[in-house]
Chains A and B, each alone.
Chain A
Amino acid sequence: MPPRPQQVVPQLALIGTLIAAGLLTRFTDSIDPYVLDVAIGAGINVILAVSLNLVNGYTGQFSLGHAGFMAVGAYLSAALSLNLAPSWLGDAPSAWAQNAFFLGALVAGGLGAAVAGLIVGVPSLRLKGDYLALVTLGFGEIIRVIFQNLDVVGGALGLNAIPYYTNIFWVLAWVAITIFVVVCLVHSTYGRGFIATHDDEIAAESIGLNTTVYKIVAFVIGAFFAGVAGGLYGHFKMTITPTGFDFTKSIEIVVMVILGGMGHTVGVVLAAILLTLLPELLRPIAEYRMIIYSLLLIILMLVRPQGLLNVQLGRNRQP
């Protein structure tokens, strides 16, 4: 039986975005580099926020360690580029070879982060609520402390002179893939289990869902995309330090998810873009940025806990 039209819409959207992103790279020279930079930053944040939303929003497991997985991905892919790229690509690599190598490095970084997610997730996801938040925070900090003490990856100085491989195509492509995977997963028959775990764990267990597996799957997929985002970030900033992936970074991603509305991908995407643009637009009050974020968290929870930007689209509404 051919798929019904609405079932192929996500696939079409994914392919459309990839083609559009490919076309866009033809015109990058005529775009203001500043705009491009901000767009890349926003894209990376969207990947981070959407992937965390799978864990914190849809599955309802409050994780505070997303920056740790981002760090694993960033370090792994940057180390690959620094150590392998010169010998594999030679002096003057073709654009294709370079992009293929970059894709490999990103996926490797993502897989590394996913493994880290599995190692962290299996023990800590037995916990709930406050405890889970603290353990993930603890793991995130442990990952940072380990990188700080590993001399192979530069210790406290971090890695420098990472090749500039990130471009708008890769960022847009990964944004599209992340949103595609998260949305399709959550709306699939299997994925309803994530929402069931979020809504009522005991009820979900009583109808035979293995909530632990759901939590771990959400965690590992979230970590994978955080790792990819880390790789994109490293090859965009060209330098990474352990302190760049501390608690504050995790909080920033959490704020995006909460502002957008937990479990609402559209809102989270909007929130990630908004929170990337705000500091750029409000340079004069940059020093108040974190104060505003924190007040935003408190006031949102008091007044509108379901988030600010959870625009409801289409018929597949989330409860």
Chain B
Amino acid sequence: MIEFFQQLLNGISLGAIYALIALGYTMVYGVLRFINFAHSDVFMVGAFVGYYLGNHLPEGAVWGGLVVLAAAMVVCAILGMTIERLAYRPLRNAPTLNVLITAIGVSLFLEYSGQKYFGAAPRTFPQIFPVRQIHLGGLTLSSNQVVVIAVAFGLLMLLRTIVMKTKIGMAMRAVSLNPRAAQLVGVNNNVIIAYTFGLGSALAGAGGVLYAVNYPSIDPLMGVMPGLKAFVAAVLGGIGNIPGAALGGLLLGTVETFVSGSQYSTYKDAIAFSVLILILLFRPAGLLGRFTIEKV
């Protein structure tokens, strides 16, 4: 029983990171109706920003960790908005396939530029937060897990406030509901889309740092697997649906942790894809999504 709760806890801390990345996918899908393949590589860039900055800050200080986190979020937000401006905005009215291919191109560009300039070999991520073991009943909890869960939930709450309570959040929801109608009532779609990219990418950057804190070996291709899984999480929760992405991330992280703790651990990477395929076949709108009917 203790082991069950231990795994559950590990699963939640992994799932919280998936949830952060999944939010970026889901928000961009909400406003632009396409999958931003490059999102997983923005996540990787976030981890590398943390790596380069973390090496210049004192180890194990809480303020240092927060500075690293904030810096990664800012850099990633700028990166995300730049990608949107240069690669996606010119294709606003192009066929979906072209946008998809461009997104794959951007993703590969970030990955291979990363291999060239960061180096392909894995690096050890510095300990930016103080490390302690916390014993709680029979459970062992590392302070990093606490940080990951706390930061992730804090950011989720913040995002919810932005989307639901602010004016720009309302504009985001309007664009995602109906871009043309939003434009008619005076929403500047381009600004809102850029803002959405910035917000999503900032969350991915935070996710990158948190992931690296928990799994301190980073390389330029580190984003691929978490990115794909976070995407699966977004689809699982219902793409375009913000609470759905958070729920999907937590569920997927938990399932995956239980599988890696079982005898089928080598199949852990196949789990996410199987979940994706099952969801798309039996409930394509996701757990919390709404069905739409295709019209001519």
* A positions within 8 Å CB-CB of B: 60, 62, 123-124, 126-127, 129-131, 133-135, 137-139, 141-142, 145-146, 148-149, 202, 247, 251, 254, 258, 287-288, 290-291, 293-298, 301-302, 305
Contact = CB atoms under 8 A, between A and B. Distances in A.
Given A146-B270, A297-B102, 17 more contacts: A126-B281, A127-B280, A135-B277, A138-B273, A139-B273, A141-B228, A145-B266, A145-B269, A149-B266, A254-B101, A288-B116, A290-B108, A297-B104, A297-B105, A298-B106, A301-B94, A305-B94
Contacts of A302: 87, 90-91, 102
B269 A294 contact: no
Q: List 8 tightest A-B contacts by C-beta distance, closest first.
A: A297-B105, A138-B273, A294-B108, A294-B109, A298-B105, A290-B112, A301-B102, A130-B35
B277 A301 contact: no
Nearest to B268: A145
Interface string B273-286: 11011001100100
A139 B277 contact: yes
> Which of B108, B266, B269, B294 has the largest count of A CB atoms less than 10 A from its CB?
B108
A77 B111 CA distance: 33
Interface string B111-126: 1110110000000000
A273 to B, nearest CB: 21
Nearest to B106: A298
Contacts of B116: 287-288, 291
Contacts of B269: 141, 145
B51 interface: no
A177 to B, nearest CB: 28
Contacts of B105: 294-298, 301
Q: Which interface class (under 10, 10 to 19, 20 to 34, 35 or more) fits B?
A: 35 or more
Nearest to B276: A138
Interface string B137-155: 0000000000000000000
Nearest to A156: B266
Given A62-B97, A294-B109, A138 B35 contact: no
B100 interface: yes
B129 interface: no
> By DSSP majority rule, is chain B's interface helix, strand, loop, or mixed?
helix
B116 to A, nearest CB: 6
A291 B277 contact: no
A135 B112 CA distance: 24
A228 B187 CA distance: 54
A133 B108 contact: no
A291 B109 contact: yes
Given A130-B34, A298-B87, A305 B109 contact: no
Interface in B227-268: 228, 231, 235, 266-267
20 contacts: A62-B97, A129-B100, A130-B96, A130-B100, A138-B228, A138-B277, A141-B270, A142-B274, A145-B267, A251-B104, A290-B108, A293-B108, A294-B112, A297-B108, A298-B87, A298-B105, A298-B106, A301-B99, A302-B87, A305-B98
Contacts of B97: 60, 62, 129
Contacts, number: 105
A202 to B, nearest CB: 5
Contact of A294 (B94, B106, B276): B106
A294 B102 CA distance: 9
B85 to A, nearest CB: 12
B100 A124 contact: no
B296 interface: yes
A315 B109 CA distance: 38
Given A145-B267, A291-B112, A297-B105, A133 B100 contact: yes
B87 A135 contact: no
B224 interface: yes
Nearest to A123: B281
A149 B273 contact: no
A202 B106 CA distance: 31
A141 B109 contact: no
A66 to B, nearest CB: 14
B284 A127 contact: yes
Nearest to A203: B296
Nearest to A201: B294
A124 B280 CA distance: 8
Contacts of B284: 127, 131
Nearest to B34: A130
Contacts of A148: 266
B104 A141 contact: no
Contacts of A139: 273, 277
Nearest to B99: A301
B181 to A, nearest CB: 23
A98 to B, nearest CB: 37
B235 to A, nearest CB: 8
Contacts of B35: 130, 133-134
A131 B106 contact: no
A298 B100 CA distance: 10
A131 B111 CA distance: 22
B100 A295 contact: no
B32 to A, nearest CB: 11
Interface string B192-204: 0000000000000
B280 A131 contact: yes
A139 B278 CA distance: 12
B118 to A, nearest CB: 13
Contacts of A202: 294, 296
A301 B91 contact: yes
A251 B108 contact: yes
